[in-house]
Structures are given as C-alpha cells and as structure tokens.
Chain A
Amino acid sequence: MATDTEPVDRSRRFYDDGFSIGRFEITPEDFWGWLTILPVLLLYTLVALIPIAFAIAASVHRVPLLNPTWDFVGVENYANVFQLDRFWGSMWRGFVFMVGSTVIQLTVGVWMALVLNKITRGSRILSTLVFTSYLIPTIIVTMMFLFMLDPYDGVLHAAGARFGLWEGYLLGNTQLSMTAVVIISSWKFSAFVTLFTLAQLQSIPDRFYEAAKVCGATTWEMFRDITLPRIYGALLVVIFLRGVFMFNKYDIIWQLTQGGPGSQTTTMPILAYRETFERGAYGMGNAIAVVMFLALLVSGLVYLKYLNPSQEVET
C-alpha cells in the first residue's frame, strides 16, 4: 500500500512515468496497450502463425512420413506439385466444387430467407428447423446420406433408381458423384446463407415496399429495386465466406467418398491429405496446402478489392 510518509514515493509503479528499453521509449499508454493485446497475440501466434510457419517449413523439405527426417530440398516439392497431373485435376475439381456448391447455397439460401421473411405465422419454428441443418454435425449429415443412398436399403437410392436418375451406388458413379457431393454439402450449408440474408431482409422497413407499391411496382420490381440493393452487401460477404469455406472443405467430401470414385471428387484438400497419408509424402502434402493457401489469398484479395463488400454494407 501507499506509504506517503516515506521520502521516496513507493506508490508509483515503474510504468507510471514510462520507461525505455534501449532506444524504445515506452509511455504508460504503450505499456497498457501492449499488455492488453498480448494474450491475443500469443494465442494467434500459437494457433495460426506457428502452424503456418511449420507447414511452409515442411513444404521445402522432403519428409517421408514413416521416417521423419527433414531433408532440405528447396522448391523441389513445389516444382513436383505443378508437374502433377492430379494436382491440376484436383484444382479444377476444387473449383467446380466451390463454385457449384456456393451457387446452389446462394440460390436456395436466399430463396429460403425470402420465404421465411414473408411468413407471419410460425416463421420462428420454421427458421429453427431450417437452421437445424446447419447445426447438425457433418458426420451425422454424411451418415444420414450414406444410409439413404445405400444401394440395398437406402430410401433416396430407391427413389432415384426408380425414376431412372442413376444406376448403382450414386456416390460411386463416376459421372454423378461430384454433383451428389455438391448437393449434399449445399443441403447442410444453405442455412448459413439464409441466416445472413434473413437478418438483412428484416432490417428493410415495410414502408419501402409500401412506397414502391404506390409507385406501381410489381413484386419482381420490388425485389429488383429494393430487396436486392439492400441485401447486396451482405450477399457479397456471404459469397466470399462460402467460397473460402467450400474451397477448403475437407470433412464432408472425405466422409462421403474419400475423394473417389477414382479421383472424381478429389479436391485440393483431399489431394493434400492423400499425398501426405496415402503416399507418405509429408513435405509434398504441405506444399499443396501452401499453394492452396496462396491461391485463396490472391483470389480473396482480388475479390475484396474489386467488390468491396464493406462499403456496400454501409450504404
């Protein structure tokens, strides 16, 4: 405690007047500022910076999985990656998976949000039901679809085969497996788009629609001239998030098809996993992951620069 009677004021701490470390002057504000963000910095370093650095480091070494000695090979892994046919194939399939599932999720998600926003009775219970699909763990979703698509007693399989949509096991079908994986992922993640869009829709005052009706606007014109401009910013954010999430999506594809049949559903994360654990090439797997990361980083920055969703959200 403060001992004011003593000639030296010991109640003042060392940081009260600032101090310096070498040439750096530390004011009390600096001291408290850094102290406050230090836990976050530490956590971020631990969960993000170190693993990323580790992956980048691994990508420039040859690391056989069963004999983890790190031989430095420079960019050899990268050179090999770009020469792999299966790399370019998986990049294309990853792109198809990302665009296909994002488009479906966007369409279905926005449509569900519009319907939920219109319904006056029971909309709460209905939204809860819709959002349940997003909350169900991926493993349950995939198990459910695997059961339903089972060629012997699956109900979806029975229906699909009956109407001649496919023959045999759908997820083993070389032409349709990608479509099936896209649709199943969209089933789970459309609700994410609904959640975002619905919040935005509910912030549009009824007056806007009444004023538009007075001006003579049809339902479509009201959607085009009021609803769409008001949710455009939120949609840009949602498209960005869904695109990134779907490009990186690993669990749902792996649980459904393990990237098969053959490599029909092997997207980039699946390829990285297969290279690492099936071919035992740890360094190579990491090189693929780093390439994925850079591809996403570049396209993400381009997207944000040219479409600038934050600006759209404000107005």
Chain B
Amino acid sequence: MSEITIQNLTKTFGSLVAVDEFSLTIEDGEFITLVGPSGCGKTTTLRCVAGLESVTSGSIYFGDHDVTDYPVQQRGIALLFQDIALYPHMTVEENMAYPLKLEGMSEEQRRERVRESAELLHIEDQLEKHPNELSGGQQQRVALGRSIVREPTMFLFDEPMSDLDAKLKHELRPLFAEVTETVGCPTMYVTHDQEEAMTMSDRIAVMNDGELEQVGTPDEVYNEPETSFVGEFIGRPNMEFFDAGIDRHNGTMDLSIGDASYRLETSEALAQYAGGDVRIGIRPQDITVSEDPADGVTAEHVFDETLGDQTHSLFETPLGRITVVTPPSFRGGEGQYGLQFDTDAMKAFDPKSGLRVE
C-alpha cells in the first residue's frame, strides 16, 4: 500500500466543467475528507479516482503506478455508496464474500475471512439474512464488510451516511474511523456534511464549483480559512460577513463596519486595501452581546434557539441579520442590545476574489 496522487484532474461533461485542475496527495493511512456543497464536483472526483468515470485530463497515481486509464476492476479499491448497493438476491454472507469469490478463493477461506470482518463490524449474527431484512445502518455495515474482506489499495466513501438518521451517523462514524485505521490504506471520504468532515478527518479538502478551495487539518480549515467560502462552509453557525471600509491611521488600521469602528494591527497585506473596502468574516462564537445598545453595533433581538449547552440568538442590525452564540441561559426578550466583535478573531477577505488577506 502506498499514497494516492491526483494530478491536475479535470472532468467535463459537455460544456460543464465538473472538476477543474484538481491536485491532491493522500498519504498512506491518511483519512481525507472531500467536502463541499451539492454539485461542487466532489463525487465526480471520487468517481474518477475509482475509475467509474473517465478522466478528461490529468493523472491518478497509486504509488508509482499511473492508473488513470485502468478499469475499475484493476484498481483494487474499496468503495461505499450512498445507496449501499447490496445485492438483494444474495444473503449477507454471499454479499460479503462476493469479491473473494471473484478472486477464486476457496469456500472455506471465504467463510473464514467473512467471519473475521463480520466480527469487526458486529454483524456476525446477521450472515444468513437477506439485505432487505436489515436496517439501513446494518446494511451499510455489510457494505463496509464487503469492501474490507480483501485488502483494498484505497478506501473511497461516497456520502455513505446521507440517508441515515443522526443517531446512526454517530454510531457509524467511529466505526468507519476504526475500520479504515485497521485496513490502513489511504481513504477519501466524500460528504456535504461539514460536521462529518471535522470529526473524522486527518485532513479536509474543501471544494467549491469544481475547484479545490483549501486543504488542511480540521483545525486549519476552521481557524485559518484561506477563502471566504471555506470560512462560511466550515463551522456552525455560519460565519457572518460584513463589508468594511479600511483606512491607515498612524501605524494602525481603522476598520469601519456600519457606524462602529475597530482598530487592527497593521499588516502589509491589509495596508494594500487602505482607502478601500475589505470583507470581514467573524464567527458567531466571537461576537459578544452587551446590554448597552450604544456599545458596538446596535441590535434588536429577534429570537433564540436554545440548544441546552449554548444559545443561538438572532439579531436584526443595520448590517443585516446576525446570529450570535450566547450563553445557555441567555434570553433576549426582543430587547435592544449592542454587539461587539472580537477584533483578534476577525478574518479579512478580498471583496472580489474572496481570498484571505493576511
């Protein structure tokens, strides 16, 4: 087993560019999540790596082997589908043993291997059943079992939990992590759920509109988003964005958001925008609510979403509606408040390209 390298992968459907010059290396044993909104090209990327779609241009390497033109059968991958795709006319055991049967393994060995995998997945008592007798979560376990009975060169997940309920997701997440670690090959996990991406990955690759926006550890993409898209897509509730004027003032930068102004440390990159506009992103966790309406941005409370451990409060302000993460006991009562932004937590982005200004 070795790493997977994707170089300048491009896939077009007619005039539609689904994936544009995508490059990424997945280390051996690394769990990478490809995350992005629907239609961003993440599934197409995965299908190209799997060999289920032909590549328009670019190459894919498994270790030193150029597999770009290999058929799926020769890539030796494991793939989990969103719609599971177990064969309804085979029992669970037959489903799991199918790749081994194709390899020509003897029935005795097949049984042994299936039993080992089934134990790892806690489905050893389901082997005689047919897939339609199992729940969605158990079916996905069987599908997982079918992929791990032989040693795959690479593990691919195509939104395997989209159709499952929240409780099952929490059950399966650690299982997926455990299984992929046991198998120990590079893993590419595609999802539109940023929470899944944050909790399971070694690294996250954020995609938008066919292009790779940023690759980094969950910490990096959360704390240091390179584009405003990544800032908005990763983290809940969504990052709030404001258009801000910026001016240089005696060695500091003066930022004006609405009526309020803030003083920032000067940076060379930021200085280039002096006299113009930047886009400021700030997470709802970094906004504080003051009882004094004159303190910061004037805000009228709209309603609270109580989550138990915290509250998400929505305010109407001259800058638009803003969500703020407030303490669990906070109840706004539709009163007047002032919102204060933590200047250290502000991220500045170019208003046109959306790139981070550092």
- Give every chain A residue within 8 A of B147 (Cβ-Cβ): 214
* CB-based contact B88/A315 at 8 Å: yes
Which of B73, B78, B86 gathers most chain A CB within 10 Å? B73
Known: A215-B146, A217-B73. A226 touches B102 (CB 8 A): no
* B303 part of interface (Cβ distance < 8 Å): no
Contact status B79-A214, CB under 8 Å:
yes
**Which residues of A have CB within 8 Å of B81?**
207, 210-211
User: Which of A211, A217, A221, A315: most chain B CB closer than 10 A?
Assistant: A211
The interface residues of chain A lying within 8 Å CB-to-CB of B85 are: 205, 207-208, 210-211
Q: Which residue of A lies closest to B94 (CB)?
A: A225
- Please, which residues of chain A bring their CB within 8 A of the CB of B73? 213, 216-218
Q: Which residues from B are CB-within-8-Å of A212?
A: 98
| Minimum Cβ distance to chain A for residue B136 (Å) | 15
Among B79, B83, B89: residue with most chain A CB under 10 A: B89
Report how far A6 CA is from B103 CA in the complex, Å. Answer: 87
CB-CB under 8 A from B72, the residues of chain A are: 210, 213-214
Q: With A and B bound together, what is the CA distance between A56 and B216 in angstroms?
A: 86
Q: In the complex, which residue of chain B has the Cβ closest to the Cβ of A207?
A: B85
A208 partner, pick from B50, B87, B99, B130, beta carbons under 8 A: B87
B328 within 8 A of A: no
Interface residues on A, range: 10 to 19
Within 8 A of A (CB), among B61-107: 71-73, 76-79, 81, 83, 85-89, 98-99, 102-103
| Chain B residue at minimal CB-CB distance from A211 | B85
Q: Are B89 and A216 interface neighbours, CB within 8 A?
A: no
| Nearest chain B CB to A314 CB, angstrom units | 10
For residue B86, which residues in chain A have a CB less than 8 angstroms away from its CB? 211
A97 CB to nearest B CB, Å: 34
Q: How far is the CB of A214 from chain B (nearest CB, A)?
A: 5
Other-chain contact of B99, A205, A207, A216, A229 (Cβ < 8 Å): A216
Residues of A within 8 A of B52 (CB): 210, 213
Contact assessment for B79 and A211 in the assembled complex, using a CB-CB cutoff below 8 Å:
yes
User: Once bound together, how far apart are the Cα atoms of A242 and B85, in whole Å?
Assistant: 33
Smallest CB-CB separation from B152: which chain A residue?
A: A214
Of listed A225, A230, A315, residue having the most chain B CB within 10 A: A225
Quick one: which of B254-311 are within 8 Å of A by CB? Answer: none
Question: A197-237, CB under 8 A of B: which get 1 and which 0?
Answer: 00000000101101111111110010001100110000000
Q: Once the chains bind, are A226 and B87 in contact (CB under 8 Å)? A: yes
- Among A212, A213, A214, max chain B CB count under 10 A is at A214
Bound-state CA distance A205–B82 (Å) is 13
Which residues of A sit under 8 angstroms from B88, Cβ to Cβ?
Answer: 315
Provide the A229-258 mask, 1 if CB < 8 A to any CB of B, else 0. 110000000000000000000000000000
Q: Report A257-285 CB contacts with B as 1/0, cut-off 8 Å.
A: 00000000000000000000000000000
Asked if B103 and A216 sit within 8 Å, CB to CB, the answer is yes
User: What are the residues of chain B within 8 A of A229 when measuring CB–CB?
Assistant: 87, 89
CA distance A215 to B81 in the complex (A): 13
Closest Cβ–Cβ distance, residue A218 to chain B (whole Å) = 7
- Chain A residue numbers with a CB within 8 Å of B83 are 205, 207
Do the beta carbons of A214 and B50 come within 8 Å of each other?
A: yes
Chain A residue, CB-CB nearest to B75: A214
Q: Which residues of B contact A214 (CB under 8 A)?
A: 50, 72, 77-79, 147
Nearest to B74 among chain A residues (CB) is: A216
Most buried by B among A213, A216, A217, A230: A216
| Interchain nearest-CB distance for A52 vs B (Å) | 39
Q: How far is the CA of A315 from the CA of B77 in the complex (A)?
A: 29
Cα separation A237 to B98 with both chains bound (whole Å): 28
CA distance A207 to B143 in the complex (A): 12
Within 146-167 of A, Cβ neighbours of B (below 8 Å) are at none
Question: A230 contacts which chain B residues (CB < 8 A)?
Answer: 89
Cα of A229 to Cα of B98 in the assembled complex, Å: 14
Give the complex CA separation of A313 and B239 in angstroms. 53
CB-nearest residue of chain B relative to A208? B85
Q: How far apart are the CA atoms of A47 and B81 in the complex, in Å?
A: 54
CA gap between A226 and B72 in the complex, in Å: 17
Q: Per-residue 0/1 for B113-136: is the Cβ within 8 Å of any A Cβ (1 yes, 0 no)?
A: 000000000000000001000000
Closest to B88 in A: A315
Q: State in angstroms the CA–CA spacing of A216 and B146 once bound together.
A: 12
User: What's the least CB distance linking A116 to chain B, in Å?
Assistant: 23
Residues of A near B79 (CB, < 8 A) are: 210-211, 214
B residues near A (Cβ < 8 Å) are: 50-52, 71-73, 76-79, 81, 83, 85-89, 98-99, 102-103, 130, 146-147
Q: Identify 26 residue pairs between A and B in the complex whose beta-carbon atoms are under 8 Å apart, listed by A's number.
A: A205-B83, A205-B85, A207-B81, A207-B85, A210-B72, A210-B81, A211-B81, A211-B86, A211-B87, A211-B146, A213-B52, A213-B72, A214-B50, A214-B79, A214-B147, A215-B99, A215-B146, A216-B73, A216-B76, A216-B102, A217-B102, A221-B102, A226-B87, A229-B89, A230-B89, A315-B88
Residues of A within 8 A of B (CB): 205, 207-208, 210-218, 221, 225-226, 229-230, 315
In the complex, given contacts A214-B72, A221-B102, what are 17 additional A-B residue pairs having Cβ atoms less than 8 angstroms apart? Answer: A205-B85, A207-B81, A207-B83, A208-B87, A210-B79, A210-B81, A210-B85, A211-B87, A213-B52, A213-B73, A214-B79, A214-B147, A215-B102, A215-B146, A216-B103, A218-B73, A229-B89
- Nearest first, the 5 A-B pairs at minimum CB distance are A207-B85, A215-B99, A213-B72, A211-B85, A229-B89
